Structure 1
């Protein structure tokens, strides 16, 4: 093992087979060859190379026949893989091989191949994200009335529902789904500029070639060569980091709710999953823990990509190499986090009774705000605050329910009878507009999408 990403033990903890297929060596070489063959077809369209040459390059260039050991040695020596790839596929093509890589430079091919990887990676991330969103949409709807303690600073604040909490998680992922669609327009653009970006080697046909190449590959055409303006790649990784952060927030909530003291939820049971080597009773929230780790690691990859934006003049001296590590790993981490999120949320065990028990642990104090606001209509806001504050302190000190103390308070009992006090201190009756907001997220209308 050299890292968790290629470890036989950990690689599917910090990645998925589908994402690894896109960003692995084979996937990369396939997209490099796809770029070279598309370039030949584009140049034939505008009359720069013979049509027969483009046909031969397209038919005979084969990524699966590239000698990987030879390529490894060459890459270590040259610093880039493209030179030897061009030599190998030129040999495959035969007499027309001299037209491979016509007027291109190494970074044109590498960047465009990476854009093709990103395109497929975004498609996979979008699919996984939709799966997780569907699960959370179901959980939010099913638990729209499952009352639980809303917590601020890890203290009981006001009652909410578990469905509301799920809908908050979902709302962030919905926005990320929208961002994924938007980023395609900015980041999925072909890179083709020649040695310094000006396409000088192709004379007045350079822009025609670039347009045709973009069309061949199904990518956007940039207004100007972007090989030292890396904002598109950085935006993609930043979005992956945000997706990881949103999943990490949900995972943090789940790990807290799954603790023995709360015991409000549990990740789905699978024999042996989350087991301890020494404590037989343990059922650790493994998926949530992996999501939390991925969120932290994704932040670092985004930071690296931001650093790699600082490129000198028309060809960078080093920052580009940072991307070769950070970008693929970001996709692996995001894919892993989404995979784990689907497992955790799809089969999440929700204990509504325990939620209610925890809600009642503070004896009605969680709705002290409601009592204060209702009483304020009769005695004024400040006076009401003093009354309810004193009653709350007494309830804590004497170990009584808030309702018991309130009915003994003359300034309260002269306004509300015991039944009304019980109603005021029922958490289930103080949920504000939680249900309306859940509905807006679960089934968004045109006005609230």
Structure 2
């Protein structure tokens, strides 16, 4: 079969997805999930007494996704418009007389939604594992550079001194919150689906047995039993994809920072060296930040997945006319994209080349202007904040125009010297003396839970 997207292209698929996540959302995995749901439904109904136990046992024994005729399924699905009826038809043939009890009282969407949720559960396991690995890697990196001074930048210009560890800890803090969101979303969104044709479970009777079947099915599959059918209440799946997109955006921010630091003009960082990786076909010197670039691209693509899921939430009455189909394309692709982004982030952060000398050199590029706020805040108690700001602002202007160190310009200003003294002015030129709480915050985010804040 000819590949037509980046997700199935032999050339590109490992850039945009991991093999493990592709396996979760493969045709084989989907068929196995559908078969598992049908068999579990039969067992749940047998326990409640709706179908004979021997029929349920036969269904469990005979339902095997590997026996399904894929080509026939493809043809029949194209005709029907949904895969469940073609699957159930083949499964029933395998089950003999017991096949008459297969899919009892269920509707296509019950099985498809529950199978999708099972895939999401496995996908979220992979996401959580990769996210934990990345967080651990970044914590170690942040702590090892908790005192590595570098230029803090706002609007791409030098602002104040920070530490490289602080910058990484900010990344970690957002990923930690995403880990909490993932955990909470699993509890809310991983729900079984069983409602029958219009969601009321009328096909299983009007007594308590219908709801007992749904509860038994949820237990059988390890999913939450919802209070009501969610055929057209798609907030759970939208939440899952939304969180995937948010994680992807945080990874995209990391990718953006890393790519900028890798640029020739910055030269503060390089992704781990792998022979040939990031090479140019014409420029032998190039070592492009490939992982960071994919992280940025994945973030942009994931944004559209979240948007599509929000659009697909607007469904008509008790069964959607079209929006449901959007999810079939969006959900797998969202998981694939995030798996790729996480894998690239782990690789990029596992062993980056960090040039601390270049960081310090860059910090000194403006000859002390990066410490203008430190001078202003030291002057403020003596002269008032606004007057101090005006004095330092003018000193910075002159220092920039004359290309001289800020300290030298400040030492020519009697009002500043009178307030701070020569020694005081020179002490303010030390970036390590104006890091605020950067170290404390870095350790608060990244230290082991039992370690004290330094």
Map of 1:8 onto structure 2: 10
| Whole-angstrom distance in 1 between the partners of 2:382 and 2:308 | 59
Shift of 1:443: 2.5
Q: Which residue of 2 aligns with 1:260?
A: 264
| Residue 27, structure 1, aligned to residue 18, structure 2 | no
Q: Equivalents in 2 of 1:311, 1:383: separation in Å?
A: 61
3-state SS, counterpart of residue 16 of structure 2: coil
Name the counterpart of 2:320. Answer: 316
Give the paired residue count.
Answer: 449
Match of 1:65 among 67, 90, 93: 67
TM-superposed deviation, 1:41: 0.4
Deviation at 1:390, TM superposition (A): 1.5
Could you tell me how far 1:413 is from its partner in structure 2? 1.9
Mapped partners of 2:307, 2:266: distance in 1: 35
Render the CA deviation track for 1:176-214: whole Å, top value 9, x for unaligned: 000000001111000000011000011022111000000
Give the Cα separation in 1 of the matches to 2:184 and 2:390: 52
Q: Structure 2 stretches of 5 or more lacking a match?
A: none
1:78 match: 80
Bigger Cα displacement from structure 2, 345-354 vs 373-382: 373-382
Match of 1:379 in 2: 383
Q: 1:359 is matched with which residue? A: 363
Q: Is 2:87 the counterpart of 1:97?
A: no
Give a deviation string over 1:241-270, Cα, whole Å, max 9, x none.
000000001110111111000000010000
1:171 aligns with 2:180: no
The answer on 1:45 being equivalent to 2:51 is no
Partner of 1:157, secondary structure, is strand
Q: How does 1:272-287 map to 2 (within 5 A)?
A: 272-287=276-291
1:234 aligned residue (222, 233, 238): 238
- Give the aligned partner of residue 368 of structure 1: 372
Which of 126, 150, 153 matches 1:151? 153
Cα shift at 1:415: 2.9
Of 17-26 and 416-425, more deviation after overlay is shown by 416-425
Say which of 141, 149, 164 aligns to 2:143.
Answer: 141
* Aligned match of 1:439: 443
In the alignment, the residues of structure 2 paired with residue 441 and residue 134 of structure 1 have an alpha-carbon distance, to the nearest angstrom, of 11
In structure 2, how many angstroms separate the alpha carbons of the residues matched to 1:430 and 1:54? 71
- The Cα offsets for residues 327-380 of structure 1, whole Å up to 9 and x where unpaired, read as 000000011000000001111111111000000000010010010110122222
Question: Residue 354 of structure 2 aligns with which residue?
Answer: 350
Maintained 8 Å contact 2:7/2:16: yes
Alignment match, 2:330: 326
Unaligned runs of 5+ in 1: none
Q: Shift in Å at residue 445 of structure 1?
A: 5.6
Provide the rounded CA distance (Å) in 2 between the counterparts of 1:445 and 1:26.
42
TM-score (norm 1): 0.98
Following superposition, the deviation at residue 426 of structure 1 comes to 1.1
User: Which of residues 89, 108, 111 is equivalent to 2:110?
Assistant: 108
Aligned-residue Cα RMSD (Å) equals 1.4
Q: CA deviation at 1:47?
A: 0.5
Measured in 2, the distance between the counterparts of 1:268 and 1:322 equals 38
C-alpha deviation, 1:444, in angstroms: 6.8
Tell whether the 8 Å contact from 2:143 to 2:447 is kept in structure 1 after alignment: no
How far off its partner does 1:59 sit?
A: 1.2
Residue in 1 aligned with 2:226?
A: 222
Deviates more, 1:370-379 or 1:217-226: 370-379
Structure 1 residue 152 displacement after superposition: 0.6
Alpha-carbon displacement from aligned partner over 1:395-428 (angstroms, at most 9, x marks no partner)? 1111111111111211122233333222101111
| Equivalent in the alignment of 2:187 | 185
CA distance in 1, matches of 2:36, 2:95: 14
Q: Distance in 1 between matches of 2:12 and 2:75?
A: 27
